[in-house]
Amino acid sequence: MPSISITWKEVTTAGLVFALIVVGFALLAAVFKWPNEQSGWPLAIIIAVVIAGLPLFGRVVSFVQQQGASIEALGVKIDFSGFTKAAEAQATALPANIVQGDVPIPGSNPTELERFAEESKGRTVATIDLKEGRAWYLTRVFAVAATADFLGAPRLIVLIGQRAGKPSQVGGWIRPGDAVRGLTEHDPGYEKLWDQVRKYLDHLRAHAPNTPGMKDYTPVYQRISDTAVMPILVDQMRNPGSFAGESSPPAIEPADKPPWVTLAQIEGLLDPWLVRDSVDVNKPTKDQVEDVLAAPGEFAVAVRDGEFAGIIEVQRAERYVLRQLATRAAA
């Protein structure tokens, strides 16, 4: 049977709080002559007892309420069973639309990646499904992260894939800039590539088409502006060119050795930056709320039957819960 326990430490703390409050009242009496022997001290003692014992009393009341029992003292009986049922009936819930849909990137070929870059403006989340490990090159994951970081959208990338034979398992979410940082730390070749691509973009923005190596990229930039960062990145990965007379960096996506990546591999590379807070939307409402409130990050991944279901914006969910509580308190 459930029981409630109060430790000696808690009792000692309550005693110290009571003593400090009494000392405070004694100082008050010395200065303002209240409380005094004629009046005030009984009230002061009651106040001290209530304040000191409030945490312990709150624990007892909470326990009794959870058990649906009652408290009877001095001829007064308080029945908590009705309170418990009402609380269960009015359990704080999350809004039905709290789970945001993602923008799945259908594939990693150059055409699909360019389309994703063009359509990503204003998006919050994109999903990369690595499947069983033969769907994405690591280089193309870098291209998505670098492009998103450069364009400012989407704000985060969710990495999912197959684990133990089960599809759509969540590796976590990551900010594009952190993914770029993690992969450049893993392989300096990514950093050299990214520096080269940004030089191309700087010259394209400055309308300097005669710079060596710019001829192939000028029409692309004229067509899609800064979104050209994606096709330039993909092309430079496979066919690094000489920029303004500089030596060409080595290809980081050699045709004879495709750099396929699995979910487990990319989790290992990006582990320090991956955020794995999750909320199981199949859980009872109370548990979902607790999981959201416990999430320290800005977002939490929603899962259903163990599979990725979307993203929850934690602050939005918290505001919704607080509004419910405030409305209930004012009723």
For residue range 185-206, list pLDDT tens digits in order. Answer: 999 999 999 998 998 898 888 8
Domain that holds residue 164: 99-320
User: Which of 46, 71, 89 is a domain's end point?
Assistant: 89
Q: Is residue 2 part of a domain?
A: no
Q: Is residue 25 part of a domain?
A: yes
Does residue 213 contact residue 199 with C-beta atoms inside 8 Å?
A: no
Does residue 292 contact residue 300 with C-beta atoms inside 8 Å?
A: yes
Q: Is residue 183 part of a domain?
A: yes
Whether residue 111 is found in the same domain as residue 31: no
Whether residue 229 is found in the same domain as residue 151: yes
Q: Is residue 94 part of a domain?
A: no
Structure tokens at 132: 């069983």
User: Which of 89, 119, 149 is a domain's end point?
Assistant: 89
User: How confident is the model over 223-248, as a mean pLDDT?
Assistant: 84
The pTM (predicted TM-score) of the whole model is: 0.69
Whether residue 104 is found in the same domain as residue 85: no
C-alpha–C-alpha distance, residues 286 and 278, integer Å: 15
Whether residue 149 is found in the same domain as residue 27: no
Whether residue 124 is found in the same domain as residue 63: no
Whether residue 25 is found in the same domain as residue 85: yes
User: How confident is the model over 224-228, as a mean pLDDT?
Assistant: 95
Q: Is residue 281 part of a domain?
A: yes
**Tens-digit pLDDT profile for residues 153-189:** 999 999 999 999 999 999 999 999 999 999 999 999 9
Whether residue 34 is found in the same domain as residue 83: yes
- Pairing mode, strands 76-79 and 99-100: unpaired
